[in-house]
Amino acid sequence: MTPLDFVKSKLQELPTLPLIAQRVVSLLNNPCSSAADLEHVIKHDQALTARVLRLVNSAYYGFPRQITTVGQGIVILGYKTLSKLVLSISIADLFRMKGKTKVFDRAALWQHAVVTAVGAKILARRAGLPFEEDVFIAGLLHDLGVLFLDLCLNTEFDEIVALYTGDRIPLIRAEEKVLGFNHTQVGKMVAEKWNFPPFLIEVIRHHHQPVMNRNHWVAVALVFLADHLAQETGVGFLEGYDADPDFITAVWTWLELKPEQKPDILQQIKEELLNAGDFLALC
């Protein structure tokens, strides 16, 4: 059995998303869903309600007064933002699942996910694009395939980690060398199994190779750049990149941004991370 066949077989054993996350994904896929539907999902889970209110009242959002109910949170933050906040909490729980390798740092991978999410949101804001919350959640999810490889492989993933840590080969190239495929393909399969919205599936599959002639290419391009910027912050898991600098410049241009803005955007990411401690602490 090839590694890809083995991964596909293990995919059938993949646990379902937590029930709350399933319900939120269902709401996100339903254009007729409402704030009342979301409040109904959240308020019957006391632990989730407490975690949601903790994040809503965190320094990251910086509201001047205390938000004491989920209903208030929906009114102030908006239905879309709060639904993705709930999904963020469920996603963080996935990073606590026990993996095969003893040397791969799940917490560092989560930190990288948060930095990418913050960066994607800032880039969207700078570009004047109405995708801030979409790309935030996409940034959190973009390396979902890495998690699954850690969960279902043993010897092969140890080899990948050894190449990455010892030989300093970018993670995606180490995966391709050992397996013949990479985490973006695996992440797409997981996202489809969990019925994620199409834009999330696209970002997970193509965040290393965005192109302009694909659906949701803007979200993919934003997460691609944010992923690169996350590496430069030095925070969390640093997977390494070997993308062509001219191509990276082209992606900035696609979004009508300028590479010269990078130092300022990096500084803004670092500043926002100072207020994102509650997100970083989810895992």
CATH code, domain carrying 72: 1.10.3210.10
CA 249-139-203 angle, to 5 degrees, is 70
Give mean pLDDT, residues 260-279.
92
For residues 182 and 32, which has the higher predicted lDDT (pLDDT)?
182
Percent of the chain with pLDDT over 90: 40
Residue 108 has pLDDT above 80, yes or no: yes
For residues 272 and 15, which has the higher predicted lDDT (pLDDT)?
272
Rounded Cα distance, 21 and 90, in Å: 6
Question: Tokens at residue 68, please?
Answer: 């004491």
String of DSSP letters for the chain: --HHHHHHHHHTTPPPPPHHHHHHHHHHT-TT--HHHHHHHHHT-HHHHHHHHHHHTSTTT--SS---SHHHHHHHH-HHHHHHHHHHHHHHHHTTS--S-SS--HHHHHHHHHHHHHHHHHHHHHTT-S-HHHHHHHHHHTTHHHHHHHHH-SHHHHHHHHHHHHS---HHHHHHHHHSS-HHHHHHHHHHHTT--HHHHHHHHHTTS--TTSTTHHHHHHHHHHHHHHHHHT-S--------HHHHHHHHHHTT--GGGHHHHHHHHHHHHHT-HHHHTT-
End-to-end CA distance of the chain: 34
Q: What is the pLDDT of residue 16?
A: 66
For residues 56 and 13, which has the higher predicted lDDT (pLDDT)?
56
Which residues make Cβ contacts (< 8 Å) with residue 61, sequence separation at least 6? Answer: 55, 77
Lowest mean pLDDT among 101-105, 167-171, 187-191: 101-105
How do residues 235-248 score in pLDDT, each as one tens digit? 888 888 878 999 99
Residue 90 has pLDDT above 60, yes or no: yes
Give mean pLDDT, residues 89-112.
75
Q: What is the mean pLDDT of the chain?
A: 87
Residue 37 has pLDDT above 90, yes or no: no
Most confident of 11-20, 21-30, 59-68: 59-68
The tally of domains found in the chain comes to: 1
Give mean pLDDT, residues 6-24.
74
Give mean pLDDT, residues 50-68.
86
Residue 97 has pLDDT above 70, yes or no: no
Domain membership of residue 264 as a residue range: 3-280
Tell me the whole-structure pTM to 2 decimals. Answer: 0.89
Question: What's the number of CA atoms in the CB half-sphere (13 Å) around residue 141?
Answer: 33
For residues 241 and 96, which has the higher predicted lDDT (pLDDT)?
241
Helices 198-206 and 217-233 sit at what angle, rounded to 10 degrees? 50
Residue 133 has pLDDT above 60, yes or no: yes
φ, ψ (nearest 5 deg) of residue 64: -70, -20
